[in-house]
């Protein structure tokens, strides 16, 4: 034991030198790291300040649109009446060359509290406090000054954090080479016009602000045979389904419009008016709708098709 | 000073360190098997790069799978390494030096493998640098990168700087 103790002291003396050297090394490395990181941090802060200043300057002078949508469920029968797949979904797919199985506006059939079902067309909710925008690590999904949430497929790294964050399940990933027709490759890409689809990136409803600016309704609203989809501007307080124009504040209040999952605090800009197609004579007990189809015969080389 | 002196000590040392110097058939068998598994993984990743994440079987509703599980698993393993070396240090166990070294090695290796997993899981691994060009502090993923790089740097420094028995 005695011998052992002596060994220990001799060794620990030896070790103390090592210990000091390690501590000094860490100190040196730490301060060097701090010095190296400081300019990067400062430039980052400066960048942020620049960006916010620029945005404010751009925003102030002109009146900004606040695009929004009202979906009148009293007039939606999931296209049972014409015995076709939901025309909003079909028009959106064909207008955007959306790859299978993406339905950017999808018509869900929900069970009603009593007997029967209702049909709920579900586009991207265009949240004003969007979870997807909050979590995106590279800012590939962003909110425009008009309040529309878009995705820049040229920046998206495909981490799929936004899909985990979206409480509405309205985001779609290009798992393989997207099954789109070759002519879609000719389109000029823009986040407001996500054509052509790119493998390994996320896509969703872009709310068609480019069409609205050109004076047209989005594909879904154009195609709805019962004019259940209103598209409008909260700022100017109007919306239209292509047949009638309504004063939004009045229209929403009179019909007790609601939004999906309001309790989450995402502040969606898609409003619903409760119903089950009664305004166009649908019986809630009649279930089922036609399946959505992707009409293209010819697809790009290497295209894969997956299910959601 | 030594409890065992001279030739006997050298003898003991040689016996203890023999597996490090001379490698047997079993060792090469294990290395060979693991190399085959490694090459299999590289081959599978090449296929994934060619065909996209399609081949993993993940889909929109289950958009994170084995890769992210493995990421969490390996980060956990690396924590175990740090924990072992920290506990041994706290209780001042005299025999801890070799165990601490092993634990430090486990930390670094497990962390490197773990950090690789989210990169493999990306739809566009070629845009990895976007994390630094367009990185947003609001995103948990950016903090992931910051935390893991810091942790890895610390662990590597601890591993390569002179040991502290």
- Sorting pLDDT into bands at 50, 70 and 90, what band is A4? very low
Same structural domain for residues A75 and A9? no
pLDDT by residue (tens digit) across A179-212?
A: 999 999 999 999 999 999 999 999 999 999 999 9
**Structural contact between residues A256 and A275, judged by C-beta atoms closer than 8 angstroms:** no
Tokens standing for residue A27: 């100190």
**Structural contact between residues A223 and A292, judged by C-beta atoms closer than 8 angstroms:** no
Residue A308 is assigned to a structural domain of this protein: no
Tell me how many domains chain A contains: 2
Same structural domain for residues A137 and A262? yes
Residue B46 is assigned to a structural domain of this protein: yes
Q: How far is CA A221 from CA A25, A250, A263, A280, B64, in A?
A: 66, 21, 27, 17, 34
Please say which residue of B9, B32, B51 terminates a domain. B51
Same structural domain for residues A113 and A209? yes
Residue B56 is assigned to a structural domain of this protein: no
B142 vs A: CB within 8 A: yes
Same structural domain for residues A151 and A187? yes
The parent domain of residue B102 ranges over 61-165
Residue B74 is assigned to a structural domain of this protein: yes
Contacts of B53 in chain A (CB under 8 A): 158, 173, 175-176, 200
pLDDT by residue (tens digit) across B70-83?
A: 999 999 999 998 89
Residue A299 is assigned to a structural domain of this protein: no
Residue A286 is assigned to a structural domain of this protein: no
Cβ separation B54–A176 shorter than 8 A: yes
Distance from CA of B33 to the nearest CA of A (A): 32
Same structural domain for residues B85 and B164? yes
Same structural domain for residues A145 and A162? yes
- Sorting pLDDT into bands at 50, 70 and 90, what band is B161? confident
Query: Checking DSSP bridges between strand A149-151 and strand A106-111, what pairing results, if any?
Result: unpaired
Check pLDDT > 50 for residue A3: no
Residue B132 is assigned to a structural domain of this protein: yes
Regarding pTM above 0.90, the answer is: no
Residue A188 is assigned to a structural domain of this protein: yes
CA distance A66 to B103: 57
Average pLDDT of chain A to the nearest whole number: 86
pLDDT by residue (tens digit) across A131-186?
A: 999 999 999 999 999 999 999 999 999 999 999 999 999 999 999 999 999 999 99
With H, G, I as helix, E, B as strand and everything else as coil, classify residue A108: strand
Residue A285 is assigned to a structural domain of this protein: no
Mean pLDDT throughout B35-60? 94
Same structural domain for residues B4 and B71? no
Same structural domain for residues B88 and B151? yes
Same structural domain for residues A175 and A78? yes
The parent domain of residue A213 ranges over 67-280
Contacts of A15 in chain B (CB under 8 A): 164-165
Q: What is the pLDDT of residue A9?
A: 46
Contacts of B128 in chain A (CB under 8 A): 157
Same structural domain for residues B1 and B41? yes
Residue A306 is assigned to a structural domain of this protein: no
Same structural domain for residues A21 and A107? no
Distance from CA of B148 to the nearest CA of A (A): 15
Same structural domain for residues B41 and B77? no
What is this model's ipTM? 0.81
Same structural domain for residues B67 and B4? no
Residue B6 is assigned to a structural domain of this protein: yes
- Please name the member of B3, B140, B161 whose beta carbon is closest to the beta carbon of A3: B3
Same structural domain for residues B105 and B161? yes
- Please name the member of B55, B121, B136 whose beta carbon is closest to the beta carbon of A137: B136
Q: Which of A226, A149, A234 lies closest to A191 in space, CA to CA? A: A149
Check pLDDT > 80 for residue A79: yes
| Number of A–B residue contacts, CB under 8 Å | 130
Distance from CA of A157 to the nearest CA of B (A): 5
pLDDT > 70 fraction of chain B, expressed in percent and rounded: 94
Same structural domain for residues A41 and A143? no
Residue A140 is assigned to a structural domain of this protein: yes
Same structural domain for residues A148 and A77? yes
Cβ separation A26–B51 shorter than 8 A: no
Same structural domain for residues A126 and A272? yes
Please say which residue of B15, B33, B51 terminates a domain. B51
Backbone phi, psi, residue A40, to 5°: -60, -45
Cβ separation A157–B63 shorter than 8 A: no
Contacts of B142 in chain A (CB under 8 A): 137
Same structural domain for residues B82 and B3? no
With H, G, I as helix, E, B as strand and everything else as coil, classify residue A254: helix
Tell me how many domains chain B contains: 2
Same structural domain for residues A109 and A213? yes
B1 vs A: CB within 8 A: yes
Q: Which of A293, A103, A74, A121 lies closest to A221 in space, CA to CA? A: A121
- Please name the member of B52, B94, B164 whose beta carbon is closest to the beta carbon of A176: B52
Q: Which of B103, B121, B99 lies closest to B111 in space, CA to CA? A: B103
Same structural domain for residues A142 and A222? yes
Nearest residue on chain A to B65, alpha-carbon basis? A160
Which CATH number characterizes residue A197's domain? Answer: 3.30.70.20
Residue A300 is assigned to a structural domain of this protein: no
């Amino acid at each position: 034991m005695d011998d052992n103790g002596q060994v220990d002291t001799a060794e620990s003396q030896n070790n103390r030198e090592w210990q000091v050297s390690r501590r000094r090394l860490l100190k040196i490395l730490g301060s060097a790291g701090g010095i190296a990181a400081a300019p990067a941090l400062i430039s980052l802060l400066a960048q942020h300040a620049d960006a916010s200043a620029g945005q404010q300057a751009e925003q102030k002078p002109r009146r900004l649109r606040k695009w929004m949508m009202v979906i009148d469920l009293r007039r939606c029968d999931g296209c049972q009446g014409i015995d076709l797949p939901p025309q909003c979904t079909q028009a959106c797919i064909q207008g955007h060359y959306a790859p299978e199985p993406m339905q950017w506006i999808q018509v869900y059939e929900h069970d009603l509290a009593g007997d029967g079902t209702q049909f709920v067309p579900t586009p991207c909710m265009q949240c004003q406090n969007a979870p997807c925008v909050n979590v995106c690590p590279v800012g590939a999904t962003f909110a425009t000054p008009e309040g529309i949430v878009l995705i820049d497929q040229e920046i998206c790294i495909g981490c799929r954090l936004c899909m985990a964050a979206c409480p509405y399940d309205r985001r779609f990933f290009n798992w393989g080479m997207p099954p789109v027709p070759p002519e879609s490759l000719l389109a000029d890409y823009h986040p407001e016009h996500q054509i052509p689809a790119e493998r390994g990136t996320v896509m969703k409803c872009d709310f068609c602000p480019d069409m609205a600016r050109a004076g047209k309704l989005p594909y879904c609203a154009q195609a709805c045979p019962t004019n259940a989809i209103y598209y409008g501007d909260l700022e100017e307080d109007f919306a239209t389904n292509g047949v009638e124009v309504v004063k939004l504040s009045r229209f929403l209040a009179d019909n007790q419009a609601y939004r999906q999952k309001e309790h989450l605090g995402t502040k969606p800009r898609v409003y619903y008016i409760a119903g089950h197609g009664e305004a166009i004579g649908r019986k809630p007990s009649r279930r089922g709708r036609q399946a959505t189809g992707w009409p293209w015969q010819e697809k790009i080389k290497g295209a894969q098709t997956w299910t959601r | 000073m030594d409890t065992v002196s001279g030739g006997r000590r050298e003898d003991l040392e040689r016996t203890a360190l023999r597996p490090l110097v001379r490698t047997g058939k079993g060792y090469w068998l294990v290395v060979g098997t693991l190399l085959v598994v490694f090459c299999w993984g590289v081959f599978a990743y090449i296929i994934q790069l060619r065909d996209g994440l399609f081949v993993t079987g993940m889909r929109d509703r289950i958009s994170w799978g084995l890769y992210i599980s493995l990421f969490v698993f390996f980060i956990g393993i690396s924590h175990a390494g740090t924990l072992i070396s920290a506990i041994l240090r706290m209780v001042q166990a005299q025999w801890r030096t070799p165990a601490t070294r092993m634990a430090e090695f486990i930390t670094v290796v497990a962390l490197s493998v773990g950090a690789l997993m989210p990169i493999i899981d990306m739809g566009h691994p070629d845009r990895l640098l976007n994390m630094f060009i367009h990185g947003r502090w609001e995103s948990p993923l950016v903090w992931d990168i910051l935390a893991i790089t810091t942790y890895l740097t610390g662990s590597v420094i601890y591993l390569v700087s002179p040991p502290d028995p």
